[in-house]
Amino acid sequence: MLRVKGLLHYGLQVPSLDKGADFYGAFGLRTAERGNAVVIRCDGREQDQTVLTEGPVKRLHHVAFAADPDSLPDWQRHLEGLGLKLLDAPKEVPGGLWFRDHEGNLVNLRDEGIAPWREFGTTDAQDANVGDRVRRIDRARWLTATEQTRPQRLGHMLIFSSDVSASEAFYTRTLGLRLSDRIVGGPVFMNSGPGDHHVFGFVPGEYPGLHHSSWMVSDIDQIARGAQGMASVGYAKGWGLGRHTLGSNLFHYIQDPWGSWIEYSSDMDCITENWQPNDWEDLPAAIWSPEVPADFITNQEEKPA
């Protein structure tokens, strides 16, 4: 069965490209104009992680996944065999195969590799002293905990779905994504094989839209400094610091200018093909954290016509 290699990037339509570039730049990412779009990248990762296009309202534009090199003819036969209609690529994001999922979300398959990411800037971040396991000796950690927050890579994204079970089935059948874990009556988390516990998933909602994107950083210092930095430029509303249940990652979320969320994340569970998913009843989103914002699971995008 064909299976995508992972999440490449996502596209957002936003009312102001300048505001979008400023927000993502403040978050610690590199921004650049490309034609009528703004592309977002991480330091040292030569791969688009987000593509911003301009339009009257904010909405999720598309989601792009990586396929094996030279595999697009096989994917075309597979998708058409499922009865999906292939579409012309948007002029702002040429290349690959394009189609819409069962809820109208635009999906892009690209036969390009997932670029490697930069090494973290300090070895001290990995040299935590925990109990009798002492790795850092005669070095003051606070002196090296001041590095500017620079996300390493796009880790995952969750989107709203009016039927998370149907969405799980669609992306399993079409892209080969696999279930990682699900909360009964709540979110569904999916993986693309060995690696991060989840790269994609669904949050229950009345209609589609972006819930959040998650960006990997080295450690808790990077998360906290990133949250502090965003608050200093006017983006104080968020949720964190905390540790999630499913995925186990440390997190801090920040609400973006259009009502979605963006997450600093670290210490995500890593899985293999041997991982066994579970259905979890009444599981909270976090083991520990501040109170969840009242509008955290509210889709701020306009309902599609």
Q: Tens-digit pLDDT profile for the chain (305 aa)? A: 899 999 999 999 999 999 999 999 999 999 999 999 999 999 878 899 999 999 999 999 999 999 999 999 999 999 999 999 999 999 989 999 999 999 999 999 999 888 888 776 655 556 788 888 888 888 888 888 888 899 999 999 999 999 999 999 999 999 999 999 999 999 999 999 999 999 999 999 999 999 999 999 989 999 999 999 999 999 999 999 999 999 999 999 999 999 999 999 999 999 999 999 999 999 999 999 999 999 999 999 988 87
CA distance 228 to 230: 6
Q: Give whole-number Cα distances, 185 to 112, 165, 279, 280, 287, in Å.
A: 35, 9, 10, 9, 19
What is the Cα–Cα distance from 79 to 160, expressed in whole angstroms?
A: 23
Instruction: Tell me how far CA of residue 111 lies from CA of 3, 7, 300, in angstroms.
Output: 12, 12, 32
User: Are the C-beta atoms of residues 238 and 227 closer than 8 Å to each other?
Assistant: yes
Tokens in use for 11? Answer: 């596209």
Distance CA 78, CA 176 (A): 11
